[in-house]
Amino acid sequence: MSIPFIVFPIFAGLGLLLGVIGLFFPKAIWWLREGWKFRDAEPSNTALIITRIGSLLATGMAVALLYMFIYVLPRW
């Protein structure tokens, strides 16, 4: 078993998990990235929108990795 068969599903699963959490709960992802540094801080609407956009990109990349793992890599 080669490295891509181990690494692709791990990164895809992690990206998919964090991406979906970020889409539905952007405040939680903001807190993991920035909120723990400050006391009683709240994210701005812009920060939440940017977090959702980043989460959407992470979800898309995770789906692309899963597609490659399932359909492309077995043909090599």
Residue range 31-72, pLDDT digits in tens: 999 888 988 889 999 999 999 999 999 999 999 988 888 887
pLDDT above 80 for 29: yes
**Overall pTM > 0.85:** no
**Would you say 56 and 18 are in contact if contact means Cβ atoms under 8 Å apart?**
no
pLDDT above 80 for 74: no
Return the sign of the alpha-carbon dihedral for residues 48, 50, 51, 57. positive
pLDDT above 70 for 22: yes
